[in-house]
Amino acid sequence: MVQVCVAFGANLGEAQATVLQALQDVGALASTQLVKASSLYASAPHESTGPEFVNAVAMYDTELPPLELLDALQNLETISGRERPFLNAPRTLDLDIIFYGNVALDSPRLTLPHPRWQERAFVLVPLAEISPDKVSPALLSSVANQPIRRISK
């Protein structure tokens, strides 16, 4: 088993319900179980436009290899109605692998750890809630200008 960190986001449709369902759906993937999930947060779109996002971060234990996990997450996005008409388009569901154990990977389909995780309050704030050892005060301070608020526990 490998512990993975997945970031969740949605800003179209019933975003809060979609993220809550996705947290469970990822844990229901083959050889995968939810370890810990953050509260839900609301954030303004980052490098994008559209409605406010609902975000969360969760830790899972999985036996799925990185690219199989990516395929499974993208399938869940598709099932939720995700379309990709342009870069950073509003979305019904966005699932990103932030960490996959201690694996470092740079392939055309997947980069691990996620290349921009340290730049995004919508990842850092929920991650600090469930795994404070991964998020330094300096990292949190560096994204303090990105509005984010907890909306549910």
Whole-angstrom Cα distance, residue 5 to residue 100? 7
Q: Give the relative orientation of helices 15-27 and 66-79 as an angle to the nearest 10 degrees.
A: 140
Catalytic residues: 82, 91, 94, 96
Residue with tokens 């993937």: 29
Q: How many CB atoms lie within 10 A of CB 114?
A: 19
Do the beta carbons of residue 120 and residue 148 sit within 8 Å?
no
CA–CA separation, 121 and 38 (whole Å)? 13
Computed on alpha carbons and rounded to an integer, the radius of gyration of the chain in Å comes to 14
Pairwise CA distance, residues 12 & 14, whole Å:
7
